[in-house]
Homo-oligomer: A and B are copies of this chain.
């Protein structure tokens, strides 16, 4: 299902990269769930995190409507890509359809998602450990990219899945980030300011996976997608100079 009347274009690597950046670079999203009482859709706003495999992540209270709805029916949709000034329909946006997966409290997955979520949203520290809070993973099923007027594409789950690193890197993302930060202290700021034209600031790496890097400064988030996936940290450093591409 696409959200624009125009003819759908053939999905190419540029469209895939733009779609990934729209999802992975979003600090928040509109989430649609199905209201179990009425069957109506219910759209609200959530902070967005990402798991290492490309699933989106939300942090919710057991008392919230999201949780009730997603336990009753795990089908959900996310809209990301915020409009700036001017015509809101001229700005690229992504509609993702996804299936919610519960994450048990205190499981390994919970600990991993907690660390990643806090790195991206430090203020969530205030409530992330409340006993009634939990994560859902939102596994991508399919998506529609609207890259602005006349540019619509369909995407599949495989366009959003992130292959694993080798075990060393995949085994400890925190250690990889520490290593990168230690050996290349200016890397995050360099990528943010020089490649993405971001404002000056003390940018820091908050996530690394084989598809790219998350770089954060205060309330700003940049998703730096590599042109080709990497397989280890050395590969990452070799890849970086080639990974410059136009920011959408």
Contact = CB atoms under 8 A, between A and B. Distances in A.
A214 B192 CA distance: 40
Contacts of A45: 3, 79, 83, 88-89, 93, 146
A61 B35 CA distance: 27
A75 interface: yes
Nearest to A82: B82
Interface string A128-158: 0000100000000100101000000000000
Contact of A34 (B34, B64, B68): B34
B44 A93 contact: yes
A206 interface: no
Interface in A87-101: 87-89, 93, 95, 97
Interface of A: 1-5, 27-28, 30-45, 47, 60-66, 68-69, 75-79, 82-83, 85-89, 93, 95, 97, 123, 132, 141, 144, 146, 219
Given A41-B41, A95-B43, A83 B3 contact: no
Nearest to A30: B30
